[in-house]
């Protein structure tokens, strides 16, 4: 059974108290670790039963960010391997803890490496536009500032949850001049912008990037104005299931995020749609900055093949494959 602590963690992800793809992935990994630390199971099958319950609880918190599935599957793949080899509960517990720690460590290292690589793309005098609140994009900009580069940023407010305010605050606190704009002003400012730098929730096999709703409009405006678009994405944001043609589910969030509960009725018979993410095709992205280096978006498939070991007929580690797998 999932502990109160794990149920709270799942609720924090669902309600976006914990948010942003990287943070969601790390939170999911820490959830499985917390299961391992708290589990009282004395036999391996009951440990695995509880493990899978927590795995499913966390997996179903938010549908889009593949970092969540990749973090959970990274750990489950190792624990399941040990279980199949006949490992006793104590070994399963330790495998869970070690895999979770390894994911957390490599995730933080990836952010650091992307910041080092990405900061090289920022030049003195640049005006950078960013959207939403990507910890990896922010960390890249802060690293450039730390190197003494003199540039400024336009942050979109990012309706309906206003994550752009957090971005503006963080960049400003790091001494970077920031202007906060409404989302619909992105094209108006684009001709003055030198680069767009955003994060990613998912990179698909064909090099498309799924990120906060509005990202594709910004990329379109950037393409029109011949402004380069860089996406900062750790390799655990790459989606293995898209290699086999799976589509990325776009999360639809509650209408009350757009119009407050008490004001909806006054609108009359109006339907409110609130998709949280959109898809920017590879053609609108100049480069994806990963911890493995800078790649053209069309090379996403190579990263996926290397990271997830895709070979025809072999076991997969992506969300769909693991869910279908028999224990
Ligand atoms: C956050 C969002 C971010 C990516 C990347 O959406 O779209 O740009 O998740 O963030 P939400 P990071 O607020 O709905 O979670 O670089 O921190 O992983």
Claim to verify: residue 191 and residue 220 sit in the same structural domain: yes
Claim to verify: residue 11 and residue 37 sit in the same structural domain: yes
201 among known catalytic residues:
yes
Claim to verify: residue 132 and residue 237 sit in the same structural domain: yes
- Confidence tier at 323 by pLDDT (50, 70, 90): very low
The DSSP bridge pattern shows strands 287-290 and 195-198 to be unpaired
* Strands of 152-156's sheet in order across: 178-181, 152-156, 127-130, 195-198, 228-232, 287-290, 293-295
The pLDDT value recorded for residue 1 is 72
Tokens of 145: 């500032």
Share of the chain above pLDDT 70, in %: 94
Best probe residue, ligand 1, of 132, 142, 254, 279 (max atoms within 8 Å of C-beta): 132
For the entire predicted model, the pTM comes to 0.94
Residue 327 in this model has a pLDDT that exceeds 70 = no
Q: For residue 210, how far is its CA from the centre of ligand 1 (angstroms)?
A: 10
pLDDT tens per residue, range 272-321: 999 999 999 999 999 999 999 999 999 999 999 998 875 554 444 443 33
Domain span at 139: 114-308
Catalytic residue among 126, 132, 183, 286: 132
Claim to verify: residue 128 and residue 92 sit in the same structural domain: no
Claim to verify: residue 74 and residue 156 sit in the same structural domain: no
Claim to verify: residue 166 and residue 262 sit in the same structural domain: yes
| Close Cβ partners of 178 (under 8 Å, ≥ 6 residues apart) | 152, 153, 154, 155, 167, 168, 171, 172
Q: State yes or no: cis peptide before 160, omega within 30 of 0.
A: yes
Claim to verify: residue 191 and residue 148 sit in the same structural domain: yes
Claim to verify: residue 100 and residue 135 sit in the same structural domain: no
The pLDDT value recorded for residue 311 is 53
Claim to verify: residue 163 and residue 291 sit in the same structural domain: yes
Mean pLDDT, the chain, rounded, equals 94
Q: Is 134 in the pocket of ligand 1 (CB under 6 A)?
A: yes
Q: For residue 135, how far is its CA from the centre of ligand 1 (angstroms)?
A: 7
- Measuring CA to CA, which residue among 68, 31, 65, 69 is closest to residue 50? 31
pLDDT tens per residue, range 250-263: 999 999 999 999 99
What is the number of other CB atoms lying within 10 angstroms of the CB of residue 279? 15
Claim to verify: residue 285 and residue 174 sit in the same structural domain: yes
CATH code at position 218: 3.40.50.10470
Distances (CA, A) of 84 to 69, 103, 297, 298, 323: 21, 21, 37, 37, 17
The pLDDT value recorded for residue 310 is 58
Claim to verify: residue 237 and residue 322 sit in the same structural domain: no
Domains held by the chain: number = 2
């Amino acid at each position: 059974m999932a502990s109160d602590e794990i149920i709270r963690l799942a609720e924090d992800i669902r309600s976006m108290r914990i948010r942003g793809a990287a943070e969601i992935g790390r939170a999911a990994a820490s959830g499985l670790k917390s299961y391992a630390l708290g589990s009282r199971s004395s036999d391996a099958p009951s440990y695995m039963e509880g493990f899978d319950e927590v795995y499913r609880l966390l997996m179903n918190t938010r549908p889009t960010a593949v970092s969540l599935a990749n973090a959970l599957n990274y750990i489950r793949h190792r624990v399941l391997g040990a279980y199949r080899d006949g490992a006793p509960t104590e070994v399963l517990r330790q495998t869970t803890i070690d895999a979770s720690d390894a994911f957390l460590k490599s995730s933080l290292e990836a952010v650091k490496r992307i910041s080092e690589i990405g900061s090289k793309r920022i030049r003195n005098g640049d005006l950078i536009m960013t959207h939403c609140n990507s910890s990896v994009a922010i960390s890249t900009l802060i690293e450039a500032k730390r190197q003494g580069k003199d540039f400024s940023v336009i942050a979109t407010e990012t309706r309906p949850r206003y994550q752009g305010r957090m971005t503006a605050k963080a960049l400003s606190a790091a001494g970077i001049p920031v202007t906060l704009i409404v989302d619909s002003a992105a094209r108006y400012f684009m001709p003055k912008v030198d680069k767009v730098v955003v994060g990613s929730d998912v990179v698909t096999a064909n090099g498309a990037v799924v990120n906060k709703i509005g990202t594709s409009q910004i990329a379109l405006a950037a393409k029109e104005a011949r402004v380069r678009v860089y996406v900062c994405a750790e390799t655990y944001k790459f989606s293995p299931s898209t290699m086999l043609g799976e589509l990325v589910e776009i999360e639809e969030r509650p209408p009350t995020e757009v119009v407050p509960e008490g004001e909806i009725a006054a609108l009359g018979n109006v339907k409110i749609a609130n998709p949280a993410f959109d898809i920017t095709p590879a053609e609108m992205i100049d480069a994806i900055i990963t911890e493995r280096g800078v790649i053209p978006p069309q090379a996403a498939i190579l990263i996926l093949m290397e990271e997830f070991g895709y070979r025809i007929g072999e076991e997969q580690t992506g969300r769909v494959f693991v869910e279908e797998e028999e224990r």
